[in-house]
Amino acid sequence: MDQCRMTRRSFVRSTAVCVAGSMGFPHIVGSCAFGGERAILPSNRITLGLIGNGNINGHHREVFLARKDARIVAVCDPATARRQAYRDRINQAYGGTVCADYRDFRDLLARDDIDAVCIATPDHWHACLAITAMQAGKDVYVEKPLTHTVAEGRRAVEVAARYGRILQTGLQRRSGRVFRHACELVRNGRIGRLTDVEVGIIGVNKGVQVGRNFPTAPVPDGFDYDLWLGPAPVSAFCPQRVARGNEVCYWYYNSDYTAGFISGNGVHFVDIAQWGIGEEIKPLEVYTASADIPADGLVDDAIAWRSQVVYESGVRMSYSSEGNPHPDGIRFVGTEGWIHVTGGGTLSAGAADVLKSAIGPSEIHLYASEGHHRNFLDCIKTRRPAAASAEVGHHATTTCNLAEISARLGRKVTWDARAERFVDDETANRLLSRAMRAPWRA
């Protein structure tokens, strides 16, 4: 049976699990139990599981610990020491043995008392984990980029719709007031007709050694390396491949696990650019004028690039790394001026008065949310789509994937956004998906 295509009932039946009640942990009744999965009452506490216990989920953990209407009851990671440290931190915060730890995510997802999961793993796991979680009846917060490939993204969107699940992509700038205001000013014509968007990201290559293969080493005790690889090809273990924390995360630059910084970090900026352009307006042509893709070594994703995306409306987005030629952030350029917002949320404009302009009641008002985690929890209760929904995450990730594919091919590609296929270009179309190692599927 496909690991990522199970119904919730068949998943629970087919997975050999030892749930919290039989492990000596209290079996907590999730908020979904009080009136069905679609009727979560606002007064009930939402129970959460964290999958992937590295730096990013460490941040999510602390935010959710501070929320009175959330309760973290499970953590999961293939590294024993890491997940146990998470478990202990959570139990210390709650003052009891509330949280259980799991090596295998399937054991966590088999628990009926968990309402939602927060996924912060390498990108090659995002689709499989998110899809399996939604099929198991869980709502999902999944780190950016939504998925590794375009095909996986479309599948995640379809599953979210079919199962009626809330999916929040970790594009947290969507919940930032400054970014929303910048996009509302653009969408309401404060700089005239939008013609160009300039996107630049910084901090792409810090400490990365290219053209190098690292020595293999024994897999450390307490680390399930095969599960860490999951759907990715089998590769000899080396510490650099799985590093996280203050070390260089080399998986972040290897195509078995990610499309690189083009989607791994740049998706934040591309998403805000497209929010300003108009989410209904899709890419038409993509051309990567230059890209530095190492020919050998563990790093095989683009570590520098300069791309241009032409949208159906005629708006052009230039997208580059390391300020070449653009500074950090997103600059919207129109026929009557420009607005720039940095990655950190500093806003500037060609004419200062533009930034003081109020958005009138009859003008375009974009989705307003104050805090990405708060928005996720509120949407679980109300069933309103999240600020960075599956479709939003897929749209932003797809554009980044198109730039990466153009970079690999070294030429322009033409995109049919309705079919989500390249036009008369089977070479490019083969790059829209990647084979997954059995038994994993998305």
The answer on pLDDT for 27 being more than 70 is: no
Q: Percent of the chain beyond pLDDT 90?
A: 84
The pLDDT of residue 18: 29
Q: 238, exposed or middle or buried, with CB in 10 Å at 0-12, 13-18, 19+?
A: middle
Asked if 352 contacts 363 with a C-beta cutoff of 8 angstroms, the reply is: no
Instruction: Specify the fold of 177-205+261-361+389-432.
Output: Dihydrodipicolinate Reductase; domain 2 (3.30.360)
Give 34's pLDDT tier (boundaries 50, 70, 90).
Answer: very low
Buried b / exposed e over 190-206, threshold 16 CB at 10 Å, is: bbeebeebbbbbbebbe
Task: Describe the strand order of the beta sheet including 329-334 as a list of residue ranges.
Answer: 347-349, 337-341, 329-334, 194-201, 316-321, 304-311, 283-292, 413-416, 421-422
Tell whether the model's pLDDT for residue 245 goes beyond 70.
no
Write down the pLDDT at residue 363: 97
Q: What is the mean pLDDT of residues 122-136?
A: 98
Model confidence at 203: pLDDT above 80: no
Give the tens place of pLDDT for each residue, 311-367.
Answer: 999 999 999 997 777 889 999 999 999 999 999 999 999 998 999 999 999 999 999
What local confidence, expressed as pLDDT, does residue 107 receive? 98
**Backbone phi, then psi, for 437, in 5-degree steps?**
-70, 130
The alpha carbon dihedral of 358, 361, 363, 366 has a sign of: positive
The rounded mean pLDDT for the chain is: 90
Report domain extents, the chain.
Answer: 8-173, 177-205+261-361+389-432
Query: Is residue 145 reached through a cis peptide bond, with omega within 30 degrees of 0 on the bond before it?
Result: yes
**Superfamily of domain covering 8-173:** NAD(P)-binding Rossmann-like Domain (3.40.50.720)
Give, in order, the Cα–Cα distances in Å from 159 to each of 138, 139, 167, 293, 385. 12, 11, 10, 34, 14
* pTM (whole model) above 0.75: yes
Mean pLDDT of 303-313: 96
**Closest alpha carbon to 179 in 266, 273, 318, 316:** 273
Residue pair 104/412 in contact (Cβ under 8 Å)? The answer is no
pLDDT bracket for residue 21 (50, 70, 90): very low
- Phi-psi bin for 222: left (phi > 0), alpha (psi -120 to 50), beta? left
Question: What pLDDT score was predicted for residue 441?
Answer: 87
| Residues 36-59: tens digit of each pLDDT | 444 444 458 999 999 999 999 999
Is pLDDT of 120 > 70?
Answer: yes
Instruction: Using the predicted structure, report yes or no on whether residue 14 has a pLDDT greater than 70.
Output: no
Is the separation of the CB atoms in 73 and 28 below 8 Å? Answer: yes
Residue 323: the pLDDT is 72
Structure tokens at 433: 């998906």
Instruction: List pLDDT tens digits, range 65-93.
Output: 999 999 999 999 999 999 999 999 999 99
Question: Is a pLDDT exceeding 70 seen at residue 4?
Answer: no
32 pLDDT higher than 90? no
